Chain A
Amino acid sequence: MILPEPPKALSLSVTDLSVQIGGKHQLKEISFQVPSGGAISITGPVNSGKSALLWAINGLLYEVPGAKVKGKVQIEHVELQQIPVGEVRQRVGLHITAPLARTPFAEVALPLQGAHLADIGARVEHVLRLVGLWSTVRNQLHQPYSVSNPVLLRLLTLARTIVRLPGILLLDDPTRGLDNMGRARFEDAVANIISTHKMTLVWATREPDQAGRVAETMAFLCNGEMIELGPTASIFERPGDPRTESFLTGDYLTLQSLLNGNNL
């Protein structure tokens, strides 16, 4: 192991990260740091590069055919490419919402295959409790579950993401399509997880309201550029760029004209 063993929050540093896929710029010279145990929200409109950024931090982007990645991602001051892929997957958890197994237990325990863990059952129960699902699924752990229940699916996949207690948790617009209650439940689950295990959190969201709730630091991305980075409350009150201003106020006509004017 190059990185500290779990459970331990890991610091993250992104320096001049540029990504091109199929000749198109997805990210342009992105730089930011999150201290160990810190939290940042990545906000921006659709196609602003939020997902590409999370995929780059998790190392998945290096495996995408035709993707050119420049710049550095460092976990605990170690360059990502110097860390074995298996270790990155274990220590940097990217929340994927797709179901991969038929029963709640199999879903959550999936990443534990091959892990040297004495009591898998206890770990599954622990993370299901953390995401607030234990009482719901404890009697149906080994029965097929309904993937058409979006809140259940999001929380189960969240439990799956954290079952190996990653040091960094990456969330990619994880509550899209959920109603108010589902969104609140998911946000509560994440708050519970990071307060229990002190994970470093990177939460991408297209909703400014959510950015304000989940992290005191935010970055605003637009067309692959990081337009602003700083305390969420300050940016919400006094954005330093007209593109941020337009996004936050919902002034899409001005945002469009600003983006077209810049030939982005």
Chain B
Amino acid sequence: MSHGRCATELEAIHQDILRMGTLVEEAIFDADRALSGQELLLAQKVIDGDDAIDDLEREIEAACVKLLALRRPLACDLRAVTTVFKVITDLERMGDHAHDIAAIAQRIGADRLIKPLIDIPRMSTLARQMVHESLDAFVRRDVALAQKVCKDDEPIDRLYTELYDELLLFIMQGNDTVRAGQALSLLFAARALERIADHATNIAERVIYLVTGTRVVRDHPSSTEL
């Protein structure tokens, strides 16, 4: 960020993004606890809290449009504004995925879980760490940290693939439609976490562009094609 004509507005937008990021991290954390610990009140909290994330996205977008209209940012300021547009979309989508996980927790309700959830909390912790670090990289303009976040996507993809195979067996082998339905729900939850990690990767890639001006070109899609 420069100390030029957009400095004050961009600083305010930064603060709002951090607020939005904090809400998203909380939502992911709570959604995982709601699912793994079957805490239904927490699930409702995540679902109710999604509006606040959406509101912040709209506020930040409006602030960016105003900045474009009034200050005509150039150079690093221009890259900052275009990056913010992308970052808030990613954050909003993460909020939606947390909402989806919470809804799955509600659907499973108090039913006995078909298996103890180990990989999903692990994925959740990794994804949350990626979200945190991607925003940290954004605020500190830290390319090395952003590159680390991009790499951190792989273990989550791997966990998702393993979980996919495992849950597929539940779905195919059992005659119990309730168990198969729960397996499918858990698969959707794992998929949501995998997508959250992808969005964190997007943010990290935008940070690299923001600092270096070079757009990251992916060799392969970061999300698994399952």
| Stretch binding the partner chain, chosen from B33-41, B46-54, B76-84, B145-153 | B76-84
Give the chain A neighbours of B168 by CB distance below 8 A: none
Q: How many pairs, one residue from A and one from B, have CB atoms within 8 Å of each other in the complex?
A: 43
B74 touches A208 (CB 8 A): yes
User: What is the size category of the interface that chain A forms with chain B?
Assistant: 10 to 19
Is A248 engaged at the interface, CB distance under 8 Å to the other chain?
yes
With a 10 A CB-CB cut-off, give which of A239, A248, A253 has the most chain B CB atoms. A248
- Residues on B with C-beta less than 8 A from A244 are 75
**Is the beta-carbon distance between A250 and B76 smaller than 8 angstroms?**
no
Question: Is A148 interfacial (CB-CB < 8 Å)?
Answer: no
Ranked nearest first, the 5 interchain pairs of A and B with the lowest CB-CB distance are A238-B213, A249-B4, A251-B4, A250-B5, A249-B2
A residues lining the B interface (CB < 8 Å): 208-209, 236-239, 244-246, 248-254
A246 to B73, CA, bound (A): 12
Contact B79 A238 (CB under 8 A): yes
Residues of B within 8 A of A246 (CB): 2, 4
- What is the CB-to-nearest-CB distance from A252 to chain B, in angstroms, rounded to a whole number? 8
- A249-B213 in contact given A236-B75, A238-B75, A238-B79 (Cβ < 8 Å): no
A contact face: mostly helix, strand, loop, or mixed: helix
Q: Please count how many residues in chain B sit with their CB below 8 Å of the partner chain's CB atoms.
A: 15
* A209-B72, A237-B213, A238-B213 as given contacts; A249 in contact with B79, CB under 8 Å: no
Q: List 22 A-B contacts (CB under 8 A).
A: A208-B74, A209-B72, A237-B75, A237-B79, A238-B79, A238-B213, A239-B75, A244-B75, A245-B2, A248-B74, A248-B75, A249-B5, A249-B73, A249-B75, A250-B2, A250-B4, A250-B5, A250-B6, A251-B7, A252-B4, A254-B2, A254-B3
B 40-92 contacts with A by CB, 8 A = 72-79
**Residue numbers in B under 8 Å from A254 (CB-CB):** 2-4
Please measure, in the bound complex, the distance between the C-alpha atom of A252 and the C-alpha atom of B2, giving whole angstroms.
10
Please give me the residue from chain B that is nearest to A209 by CB atom: B72
In the bound complex, CA of A86 to CA of B3 (Å): 49
Residues of B within 8 A of A251 (CB): 2-4, 7
> Within 8 Å CB of B5, what residues of A?
249-250
Within the assembled complex, what's the spacing in Å between the Cα atoms of A246 and B6? Answer: 12
The smallest C-beta distance from A118 to any residue of chain B, in angstroms, reads 48
